[in-house]
Structure 1
Amino acid sequence: MPNQTASLPLAGVRVLDLSRVLAGPWCGTVLGDLGAEVIKVEHPQRGDDTRDWGLRVGATQTSYFNSANRNKRSVTIDLQTADGQRIAQALALKCDVVLQNFRHGGAEKFGLGYEQLKRHHTSLIYCSISGYDPTGPEAARPGYDLLVQGEAGLMALNGEAGRPPLKFGVAAVDLFTGMYAAQAVLAALFERQRTGTGRHIEMALFDCGLMIASYYGLEALMTGQDPLRYGNAHPSIVPYGVFDAEDGPLVITVGNNAQFDRFCREVIERPDLAEDDRFRTNITRTKNRAVLVPEIDRELTRRKRAVLLERLKNAGIPCGEVLGLHEALTSERATASGLVTHLPHPESGEMQVLSPPYRLDGARPPVRHAPPSLGEGTHDVLRSLLDLDDTQLARLEADDIV
């Protein structure tokens, strides 16, 4: 059987993932998807917090845990013990990258801080993830996605006008932070090829939360006030959003003036709207959305969704149905693209995980390792990297260190 890792970009890179919950593990998963060997360190009894979140998959896994921990091995080490700390330190010195999101000062307490490891491993790339600026007055404050969504203004721009603040449906700040962290690690790995030295990367959830605001953030700075909320509509493009046909919702994205002209004439059969000076350009349509959108709504609700989708397609206007999540995951589009991987599971029979989103030379990277059960890789990893024998491993197990 060919080596599935050898042809991937990060083949040969080893990552020690000391993080838990979502932002850090998401970074580790991105690196693992691209071919890195990722060793996830967990507490011998409790494991990652997310092994107790979501729907149960076997004895030690859940839907939440599995979403952020594919392509990893699980090694259980009690970092509260001196022997456990020595093992983790030794593993770190065998790795190219260390990820951690301990509370402020926690890594140093275990002898796993950047400066402590750097003394013995100058080429180490070390990524710390915290809630807030690690050099500021809130450095020791725990950070959680929901907190940052509120404090970074994301809840205030999400949802419908006149309604209470609304969080994103998923932990968007954690996910973006994990992706930004992975980008920074990749840049540091590239730089290390030239210089031979490592980097200390520091990521804060609050910083990444503000980045998500993107163009909304710049508008707030320019106007000195919060942007209006438009729900499923777009703040700068009209018509662009979710609309109701006679028999259900659909997405319509009219991206330019030529598309708007075709939309009016060929889709809703209202050439008068295309010829109205109030609606000739996107800027004037945005200013007059309160007049235009009700007219569009009235025409759309008189027509079947299938008819509208066909007309929109023929007019060259991007459009689509609004699907439920299960419907989307099991759609012909997702199935044909291989976006869900089915893997055997020793307890539940089968597990499903999302596949890596990349295509490399036309092929999607495989899920080389299923999300691991707690401690499944402990013996293999400690034997191969630290040369521990069966007697040593048995003693460590007897003392609840691994």
Structure 2
Amino acid sequence: MEPTTEQDLPLSGIRVLDLSRVLAGPWCGQVLADLGADVIKVEHPERGDDTRDWGVATSPGNTTYFDSVNRNKRSLGLDLATEEGADLARRIAAGCDVLIQNFKRGGADKLGLGYARLSAENPGLVYCSVAGYVGDGPEADRPGYDLVVQGESGLMALNGRPEEPPLKFGVAAVDLFTGQYAAQAVLAALLQRHRTGRGRHVEMALYDSGLSLTSYVGLAALALGRDPERVGNAHPAIVPYGVFEAADGPLVITVGNNGQYRRFCTVIGREDLAADPDFATNLGRSRHRARLAPEIDRELTRIPRAALIEALRAAGIPCGEVAGLHEAFRSERTAQAGMLHAGRSPVLAPPYRLDGDRPPVRRPPPSLGEHTDALLTELGLDSEHIADLRARGVVAG
């Protein structure tokens, strides 16, 4: 099979103006870029995106935070607070299919970059706004921060053990899911535009995404009329299912049905636990978790992890080692999947395949303003005009 080229990608020919910062909006832009769109990331000409100052430095002006959500994009250093800068952004938007922004409420309108104005000039524009809370609600003016929303939406109440305080996710899950939801909605709007010729205004709120992310546990809270019990690395409704300690390290074991449970008991040499009527069904095992769990834990700690995983897999029981992050990234499994791209600094590759081929990392995460001259030249500006704009701080690159 021939390698995927840029022209083969589904969004080849789609142009996106990414005015967003930090994680949620840029993640949306990166999804579109991975699928072939030409994504133009606008950054302040001096400061750049906030995330250029977060995490571990990967090169001058780039960090792990920035690199994680900005592959396959072009960077335009542009001061939108100047009339000339905002006018250049409007000119670019007039030729774009999608615009992404996460200004505070009213911020885009003040710059002349709001939905009403830009859609009047470009009726086919799909305009995506990302905010903390719904734009017509009482909290519309509040800034959106992932950790705050993790607390407010109940997400932190899902994690950890009952005796511990609420626990946040290890990554900015609300930001990242909001970006993914936004990309899905943008793609749907582009598909509808193919039929109607008109764009849509996609509105995303971090709080809405946070609630959505609670999924079945959130619905369980409604059904119970209270918070479900937190169970740490175990499953709230399936037993045994979670992280366990073997003799020499942790592993994950997921016993998903009663047949697997009986085979699991054979692997650990405790057929009596399979014969006990209290444990015959998952509902029974859940009810009697406090009696069953210590018995299982005691048996598992006697068996070396590698031998246990081998026996469980032979019995058709899903399981795997618990790896450290560095260990996982450097594993043979990751290498075989082709999930790491080594460029100016390592970045993850897109997590999907098209006809068996993973979309390429066409461009590394850009340095600040790296593509300014090329983009302004495409807009029709000559070198003298660009030099004048740079001298006055309107653009950088």
**The two structures share one fold, judged by TM-score above 0.5:** yes
Paired-residue identity, %: 64
1:270 aligned residue: 270
Once the two structures are TM-superposed, the CA of residue 395 in structure 1 deviates from its matched residue by: 0.7
Distance change >3 Å, CA 46–CA 398, structure 1 → 2: same
Report the secondary structure of 2:167's partner residue. coil
Aligned residues: 394
Q: How does 1:8-27 map to 2 (within 5 A)?
A: 8-27=9-28
Q: How does 1:168-247 map to 2 (within 5 A)?
A: 168-247=169-248
2:303 aligned residue: 303
Deviations 1:116-147, CA, capped at 9 Å, x for gaps = 10111111000000000110011010010000
Once the two structures are TM-superposed, the CA of residue 376 in structure 1 deviates from its matched residue by: 0.4
1:30 paired to 2:23: no
1:348 aligned residue: none
1:260 aligned residue: 261
CA contact 2:73–2:363 (8 Å) conserved in 1: yes
Deviations 1:71-111, CA, capped at 9 Å, x for gaps = 00000111111101100111111100000000111100110
Deviations 1:28-47, CA, capped at 9 Å, x for gaps = 00000000000000000000
1:80 paired to 2:74: no
Deviations 1:177-213, CA, capped at 9 Å, x for gaps = 0000000000001111111100000000000000110
Query: What is the distance in 2 between the residues matched to 1:379 and 1:359?
Result: 33
CA contact 1:37–1:72 (8 Å) conserved in 2: yes
Indicate the larger mover: 96-105 or 300-309. 300-309
1:336 aligned residue: 336
Once the two structures are TM-superposed, the CA of residue 4 in structure 1 deviates from its matched residue by: 2.3
1:362 paired to 2:326: no
The RMSD of aligned alpha carbons is 1.0
Query: What is the distance in 2 between the residues matched to 1:90 and 1:63?
Result: 32
2:370 aligned residue: 376
1:381 counterpart letter in structure 2: L
TM-score, length-scaled by structure 1: 0.97
Query: What is the distance in 2 between the residues matched to 1:120 and 1:18?
Result: 18
Report the secondary structure of 1:119's partner residue. helix
Query: What is the distance in 2 between the residues matched to 1:209 and 1:323?
Result: 27
CA contact 1:125–1:188 (8 Å) conserved in 2: yes
Query: What is the distance in 2 between the residues matched to 1:223 and 1:2?
Result: 52
Deviations 1:332-356, CA, capped at 9 Å, x for gaps = 000111110001x3xxxxx100000
Indicate the larger mover: 157-166 or 121-130. 157-166
Deviations 1:250-294, CA, capped at 9 Å, x for gaps = 1100000000010111x1111111111100011111111111111
1:125 aligned residue: 126
Query: What is the distance in 1 between the residues matched to 2:152 and 2:225?
Result: 17
CA contact 1:4–1:368 (8 Å) conserved in 2: no
Query: What is the distance in 1 between the residues matched to 2:268 and 2:11?
Result: 51
Query: What is the distance in 2 between the residues matched to 1:44 and 1:299?
Result: 61
Shift >2 Å, 4+ stretches:
1-4
CA contact 2:4–2:359 (8 Å) conserved in 1: no
2:390 maps to which of 367, 378, 397: 397
Deviations 1:138-168, CA, capped at 9 Å, x for gaps = 1010010000000001111111111011100
2:290 aligned residue: 290
Deviations 1:209-252, CA, capped at 9 Å, x for gaps = 00110001101111111111011000111000000011111110
1:103 paired to 2:87: no
Distance change >3 Å, CA 377–CA 3, structure 1 → 2: farther
CA contact 2:4–2:357 (8 Å) conserved in 1: no
Report the secondary structure of 1:38's partner residue. strand
Once the two structures are TM-superposed, the CA of residue 2 in structure 1 deviates from its matched residue by: 8.8
2:40 aligned residue: 39
1:272 counterpart letter in structure 2: D
CA contact 1:379–1:393 (8 Å) conserved in 2: yes
Distance change >3 Å, CA 311–CA 182, structure 1 → 2: same
Indicate the larger mover: 50-59 or 64-73. 50-59
